[in-house]
């Protein structure tokens, strides 16, 4: 019954294991090049954002969404749930406790999905680099497409980061979800190294 491809879900109590997904994420191969090109063009022009305001970075998202910098000009819109979003924005430092929620949110998003790390804290820990409870590099736990440096980056910088991400998507280089599926074991090992009370499914789709 349990073949090699099934996830054990050891963090869950035994009577709950049947209730959750035990399949590994799969790599979705790109379609024929002209179709994929069209799809990437449309993906790049309708990014729906799940903004995860973990730290001070979230403060720069308000001017971005409202009248002055009005992000809907670029076809972007904030969404309230991970299942409707294609872009996860991590707004600042991540403690171990919030990283757990971020992983859950990321895995619930549908493919294709992209991650933007906002602020120095996601790059190398920023001013919290030697703290006992904040991670240093986000890309060891989730595949990050674009980092926007700054403490905090201004809305102009974030828009420039969006442009960079769009370029990556159109070039077909934003394959974070596939990368996550390919190197699933590496990502899970890193995540479980610091999240010691793993009480959620091994993959939350």
Partner 1 sequence: MEQINELKARYSISDSRDQRPDLGFITVDPGRLAALLAELQQVRGYTHLSFITAVDYPETGTFQLTYMVHNFESAHSLGVRTVISRDTALMESVHHLWKQAKTYQRELKEMYGIDFPGSPGVDDPFILEGWQGPPPMRRDFDTRAYSEKTYFPRPGRKTSDPRRHMQSRLYPDYTPFEEET
**Interface residue list for partner 1 (CB under 8 A):** 96-97, 100, 123-125, 129-137, 140, 190, 193-197
Q: How far apart are CA 39 and CA 23, in angstroms?
A: 26
Question: Environment class of residue 10 by beta-carbon count within 10 Å: exposed (0-12), middle (13-18) or buried (19+)?
Answer: exposed
Q: Which residues contact 62 (CB under 8 A, 6 or more apart)?
A: none
Residue with tokens 């349990």: 2
If the CB atoms of residues 55 and 155 are measured against partner 1, the closer one turns out to be 55
What is the end-to-end Cα distance of the chain in Å, rounded? 21
Residue 6 DSSP code: B
Q: Quote the least distance from Cβ 193 to partner 1, whole Å.
A: 8
Give the separation between CA 86 and CA 109, rounded to whole angstroms.
Answer: 7
The least distance separating partner 1 from the CB of residue 130, rounded to whole angstroms, comes to 4
Q: Could you tell me the smallest distance in angstroms from the CB atom of residue 12 to partner 1?
A: 15
Residue 102 or 123 having the CB closest to partner 1: 123
Strand order through the sheet with 48-52: 77-78, 48-52, 87-91, 114-118, 146-148
Q: State which residue, 13 or 80, has the beta carbon closest to partner 1.
A: 13
159: left (phi over 0), alpha (psi -120 to 50) or beta: alpha
Nearer to partner 1, 71 or 102 (CB): 102
Min CB(30)–partner 1 separation in Å: 30
Q: Rank residues 66 and 124 by Cβ distance to partner 1 and give the closer one.
A: 124
CB nearer to partner 1: pick between 10 and 35: 10
Q: Minimum distance from CB of 77 to partner 1 (Å)?
A: 32
Minimum CB separation from partner 1 for residue 57, in Å? 18
């Amino acid at each position: 019954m349990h073949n090699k491809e099934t996830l054990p879900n050891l963090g869950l109590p035994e009577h709950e294991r049947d209730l959750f997904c035990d399949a590994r994420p799969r790599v979705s191969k790109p379609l024929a090049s002209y179709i994929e090109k069209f799809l990437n063009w449309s993906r790049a022009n309708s990014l729906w954002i799940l903004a995860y305001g973990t730290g001070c970075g979230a403060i720069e998202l308000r001017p971005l969404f409202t009248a002055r910098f009005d992000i809907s000009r670029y076809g972007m819109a904030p969404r309230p749930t991970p299942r409707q979003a294609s872009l996860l924005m991590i707004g600042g430092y991540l403690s171990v406790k919030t990283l757990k929620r971020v992983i859950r949110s990321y895995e619930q998003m549908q493919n294709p999905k992209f991650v933007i790390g906002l602020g120095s804290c996601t790059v190398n820990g920023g001013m919290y680099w030697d703290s006992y409870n904040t991670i240093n590099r986000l890309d060891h736990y989730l595949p990050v497409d674009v980092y926007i440096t700054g403490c905090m980056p201004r809305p102009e910088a974030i828009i420039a980061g969006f442009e960079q991400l769009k370029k990556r998507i159109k070039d077909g280089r934003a394959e974070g979800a596939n990368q996550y599926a390919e190197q699933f074991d590496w990502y899970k090992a890193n995540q479980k190294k610091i999240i010691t009370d793993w009480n959620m499914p091994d993959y939350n789709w």
